[in-house]
Structure formats: C-alpha cells, structure tokens
Amino acid sequence: EVNFNCRVETFGQIVKQFDERKKRLVAEMGFAGLLHFVDKGLPRNLCYWLCTMVDVKRRVLVLKDGLEFPLSKIQVHWVLGIPIGPRHVPKVCEDDAMENEVARLCESFVTRCPSGHRGVSRKTILEVIEGPLEDDSEFKKAFMMMAVNDVIDGPDKLSSNVSEDAPSCECCREGK
C-alpha cells in the first residue's frame, strides 16, 4: 500500500486528543464540525485522492478524464462541517483593526528558516495546539492556521503562507 502524508488524517488525530476546553474554543469559533473528522473513517488513500481531486478555488471535483462536478456551499458544509453564511472571508486585510491583529498573528508565529525564508512552521503551530492551553486566543489562532492549511486549502498547499492565510484565520478566529 502506498504511504501518503495525508494532512486530513493527521488533523483528525490531533483533534482527537483535544480536551473539553479546546473543543469548546473550536466550537465558539463555529468550527465544531471539524472536531468530527476523526469519525469519518475514510481509508487514507481514498481521503488523499479525494483531496487532490478538488479544485478549491473553482469549487469543483475534477476527475482525471476532465469531468467536473461543481460543489455548492452547502455540500462543503455537509462534508467539512465548516460554517456557512452570507459573509465572505477576506484574503487581505480590510481595515486597520484587522491589519493590527494580523501583525500580532505574524509576530506570534512567523519564524525565519536557516535559508532566510520567513513563514509559519508546522512545528510552531503544533506546539501551541498540542501543548497545554495557556492562552485561548493563541490556541484559536494556531487552530485556524492548521485547519486552513490542512483541511480547507487541501494537500496541494505545502506550507502555511501567512501573507495569504492570516486575514482569513484572524477573521474566522473572531467568528466574524
């Protein structure tokens, strides 16, 4: 059997370890449906295949022969359990308050790699998520970065890009 690095499966294993307080914080943000990923029971290779077949930007499932199946917002809600509503989630800062919060988010999580590249390391996010809960706000930020990177953006995205994901994470964390 092929061994895939399936982030959705890893996400489920991490969430399975959450205590009641961490689960409550996730539910407060409106993402309680993501807590049930551990119960989905899809084989790893099927899960990976499905994730690689979805074009997130166009919201379609694309088969190898080019056949496309559009996905509605409600279908995504049913499958992922993520909130569905009329408000859009911004990809850029829309005001000074959001810009300040994103700057704080980056200050908390961005590190510089030996190569000189700046970004958020998965290790940094996991230390906050899996460690003892000291700060509710920091946990929510880290959870949203993991959820966006592992589940919502899909497996084709190799690492968390703060410049792209930070406004979305901050908006979702605040439940806006």
Q: How many domains does the chain have?
A: 1
Give the structural domain span for 118.
7-173
Q: Is the pLDDT of residue 16 over 60?
A: yes
Give the residue with greater pLDDT, 151 vs 128: 128
Task: Classify residue 110: in a domain, yes or no.
Answer: yes
Give the model confidence (pLDDT) of 54-95 as tens digits: 776 777 888 888 899 888 877 766 665 566 666 666 666 777
13-22 average pLDDT score? 91
Task: Classify residue 13: in a domain, yes or no.
Answer: yes
Task: Classify residue 99: in a domain, yes or no.
Answer: yes
What is the model's pTM? 0.64
Task: Classify residue 1: in a domain, yes or no.
Answer: no
> Would you state the pLDDT for residue 22?
95
SS (H, E, C) 62-131: ECCCCCEEECCHHHHHHHHCCCCCCCCCCCCCCCHHHHHHHHHHHHHHEEECCCCCEEECHHHHHHHHHC
Confidence of residue 157 (pLDDT cuts 50, 70, 90): very low
Give the residue with greater pLDDT, 17 vs 102: 17
Task: Classify residue 73: in a domain, yes or no.
Answer: yes
Six-digit token pair at 138?
A: 């920091």
> Any idea which residue has 């509605």 for tokens?
72
Give the residue with greater pLDDT, 8 vs 125: 125
Rounded CA Rg of the chain: 16
Q: Which of 136-140, 146-150, 161-165 has the highest mean pLDDT?
A: 136-140
Task: Classify residue 55: in a domain, yes or no.
Answer: yes
Task: Classify residue 2: in a domain, yes or no.
Answer: no
